[in-house]
């Protein structure tokens, strides 16, 4: 009797092992399809004499990218669900979290380490040079201008974006046209920096003195009897302000949305009590509103500081980093791709990383204090 049950049991587990082995087939097939699609897409895009219509490539690319993810997760899950329960439980988190973690490690973690290593090597990444690249970066005259510019961006960009965002949020909160006004201010957020660069290049454009001006700013200046100016080229270092203005224009909408939500969260009883006690609007704003939304002000300021620290597109499109407007990110690009200097380029990237570590540490501390985890 016992032997038969044993036999049946081992037969069962044998068939279970067999299904598990068979269940891996869909996963392997979908992996194979994905890899094949990878090379197929690469080759039809890279081939010089390709006659494949562009629209076909585009549709295939979308199917591969979107379908691939779905296929991979479905088949992987099907596979582990056929395994013994213990293994299903052990492997399920790997299926769910694994791909994202792998991607993060490949795209951000390993590159950070590689960049760190490169920053200690010379321009061709052959000889180890200790801190020479960093020394160059911190003593070179051009680089000091770059740091000064970034400091200007961070200070003035943040102050003006935060204050104009706050002003508009307060005004809109008291107005009947709130949503319309907010949509208009917010709209630039949908525009690319390159597009914004074109818009503002047009506003700043300059014609010879005797010709009619087509740029709005110069037209205004001339109508008041002034001389037309090339705003982004002259008056160094103040020309940086004309670039910073673009980012203020773009980012105020973001600040406004966050402040608007924060203002609506201030308990109305406090405001009413203050107003009954005879406080003026100005007093209410500075003594009650500002302290109540301080958390949001810090969040918005941090985001914009990080944002201006990495500013790239606007400068490239407006001036290409000429006329003393170069910033860390444009200098990074120039060192790597114009001068082929891997050492200095990597050192600049590392400095950028070090600059954001306080924020990173703050985020991690907030996370560590979270109870839910």
Helical spans, DSSP H, in 213-320: 216-223, 239-264, 268-276, 281-283, 290-292, 294-309, 313-318
CB of 6 to other proteins, least distance (A): 29
Q: How far apart are CA 343 and CA 351, in angstroms?
A: 12
88 contacts: CB under 8 Å, gap ≥ 6: 80, 81
Binding residues with other proteins: total (CB under 8 A): 115
CB of 7 to other proteins, least distance (A): 30
Site string for other proteins, 165-204 (x = CB under 8 A): --xx--xx-xxxx---x-xxxxxxxxxxxxx-xxxxxxx-
Q: How far apart are CA 120 and CA 98, in angstroms?
A: 32
Q: Which of residues 26-55 bind other proteins (CB under 8 A)?
A: 38, 41-42, 45-46, 54-55
CB of 309 to other proteins, least distance (A): 8
> DSSP characters for 187-231?
GGGGS-HHHHHHHHHHHH----TTSPP-SHHHHHHHHTT-----T
Residues 207/208/212/218 CA torsion (nearest 10 deg): 50
CB of 11 to other proteins, least distance (A): 26
CB of 113 to other proteins, least distance (A): 9
- In terms of CB distance, is 4 or 367 closer to other proteins? 367
- In terms of CB distance, is 297 or 350 closer to other proteins? 350
Determine if 221 is a binding residue for other proteins (CB under 8 A): no
CB of 124 to other proteins, least distance (A): 13
- In terms of CB distance, is 203 or 274 closer to other proteins? 203
Q: Which of residues 260-319 bind other proteins (CB under 8 A)?
A: 261, 299, 302-303, 306, 309-310, 312-313, 316-317
- In terms of CB distance, is 118 or 288 closer to other proteins? 118
Stretch of 5-13, 20-28, 137-145, 327-335 lying at the interface with other proteins (CB under 8 A): 327-335
Distance separating the N- and C-terminal Cα atoms of the chain: 52
128, β-bridge pairs:
121
Largest CA distance in the chain: 111
């Amino acid at each position: 009797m016992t032997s038969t049950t044993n036999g049946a049991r081992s037969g069962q587990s044998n068939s279970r092992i067999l299904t598990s082995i068979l269940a891996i087939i869909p996963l392997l097939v979908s992996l194979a399809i994905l890899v094949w699609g990878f090379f197929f897409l690469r080759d039809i895009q890279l081939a010089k004499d390709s006659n494949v219509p562009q629209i076909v490539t585009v549709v295939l690319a979308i199917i591969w990218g979107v379908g691939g993810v779905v296929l991979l997760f479905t088949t992987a899950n099907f596979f582990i669900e056929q395994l013994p329960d213990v293994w299903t439980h052990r492997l399920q988190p790997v299926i769910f979290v694994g791909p994202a973690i792998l991607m993060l490690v490949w795209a951000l973690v390993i590159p950070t380490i590689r960049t760190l290593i490169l920053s200690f090597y010379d321009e061709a990444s052959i000889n180890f040079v200790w801190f020479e690249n960093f020394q160059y970066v911190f003593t070179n005259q051009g680089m000091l201008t770059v740091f000064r510019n970034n400091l200007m961006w961070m200070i003035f960009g943040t102050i003006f974006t935060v204050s104009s965002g706050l002003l508009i949020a307060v005004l809109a909160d008291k107005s009947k046209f709130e949503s319309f006004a907010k949509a208009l201010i917010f709209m630039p957020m949908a525009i690319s920096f390159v597009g914004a660069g074109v818009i503002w290049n047009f506003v700043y454009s300059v014609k010879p003195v005797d010709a009619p001006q087509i740029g709005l700013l110069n037209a205004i200046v001339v109508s008041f009897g002034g001389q037309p100016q090339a705003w982004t080229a002259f008056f160094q270092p103040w020309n940086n302000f004309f670039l910073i203005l673009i980012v203020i224009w773009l980012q105020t909408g973001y600040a406004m949305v966050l402040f608007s939500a924060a203002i609506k969260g201030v308990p109305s009883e406090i405001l009413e009590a203050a107003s009954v006690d005879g406080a003026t609007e100005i007093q209410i704003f500075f003594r009650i509103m500002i302290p109540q939304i301080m958390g949001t002000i810090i969040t918005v300021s941090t985001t914009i500081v990080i944002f201006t620290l990495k500013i790239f597109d606007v400068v490239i499109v407006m001036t290409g980093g000429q006329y003393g407007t170069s910033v860390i990110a444009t200098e990074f690009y120039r060192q790597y791709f114009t001068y082929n200097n891997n050492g200095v380029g990597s050192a600049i990237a590392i400095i950028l990383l070090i600059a954001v570590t306080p924020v990173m540490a703050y985020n991690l501390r907030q996370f560590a204090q979270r109870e839910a985890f």
